[in-house]
Amino acid sequence: MKRILVVSSANMDMVMNVDFVPVGGQTVIDKGTYSYVPGGKGANSAVAFSRLGAKCIFLTKLGKDANGDVLLSLYEKEGMDISYIKRDTEVASGLAAILVEKTGQNRIIVFPGANSRIELDTVSEAIAGKPDALYMQFEINYDAIIHAAIEASKNGIPIFIDAGPANKDFPLEKLPELTVFSPNESETEAFTGIAPTDEESCKRASLKLLERVKTKYIVIKLGGRGAYIFDGEKGIIKPTYDMPVVDTTAAGDAFTAGLTLEYLRTGDIYTSCDFANATGSITVSRHGASSSIPNSNEVADFLAKNG
For ligand RIB, the binding residue among 250, 269, 276, 278 (CB under 6 A) is 250
Binder among 11, 50, 192, 281 for ligand RIB (CB under 6 A)? 11
Rg (CA), the chain: 18
Query: Would you count residue 249 as binding ligand RIB (CB under 6 A)?
Result: yes
**Stretch touching ligand RIB by CB under 6 A, among 118-126, 127-135, 179-187, 248-256:** 248-256
* Alpha-carbon span 166 to 193, nearest angstrom: 12
Of the candidate spans 19-27, 126-134, 246-254, 297-305, the one that interacts with ligand RIB by CB under 6 A turns out to be 246-254
**For ligand RIB, the closer CB: 41 or 203:** 41
Q: Which helix (H) or strand (E) holds 269?
A: helix 269-284
Q: How far is CA 155 from CA 104, 136, 142, 147, in A?
A: 41, 16, 20, 12
Q: Does 248 bind ligand RIB (CB under 6 A)?
A: no
Q: Which stretch binds ligand RIB (CB under 6 A): 47-55, 78-86, 142-150, 247-255?
A: 247-255
DSSP states along 25-47: T------S-EEEEEE-HHHHHHH
Among positions 104-143, residues that touch ligand RIB (CB under 6 A) are 108, 110, 139
Could you give the CA distance from residue 111 to residue 23 in angstroms, rounded to a whole number? Answer: 21
Nearest to 261 by CA among 249, 273, 250: 273
Measure the CA–CA gap between 39 and 18, rounded to whole angstroms: 19
The answer to the question of residue 88 lying near ligand RIB (CB under 6 A) is no
> Does the footprint of ligand RIB cover residue 246 (CB under 6 A)?
no
Nearest approach, Cβ of 173 to ligand RIB (angstroms)? 25
Greatest CA separation found in the chain? 55
From CA 80, how far away is CA 1, in angstroms rounded? 13
The reply on whether position 254 binds ligand RIB by CB under 6 A is no
- Other C-beta atoms within 10 Å of 57: how many? 23
Helices 120-128 & 142-154, crossing angle to 10 degrees?
Answer: 30
Please tell me whether residue 213 binds ligand RIB under the rule CB under 6 A. no
* 12 or 178: CB nearest ligand RIB: 12
- AA identity, residue 143: D
The one among 96, 133, 140, 284 contacting ligand RIB by CB under 6 A: 96
Contact track, ligand RIB, 37-76, x by CB under 6 A: --xxx--x--------------------------------
The site for ligand RIB (CB under 6 A) is made up of 9, 11, 13, 39-41, 44, 96, 108, 110, 139, 249-250, 252-253, 289
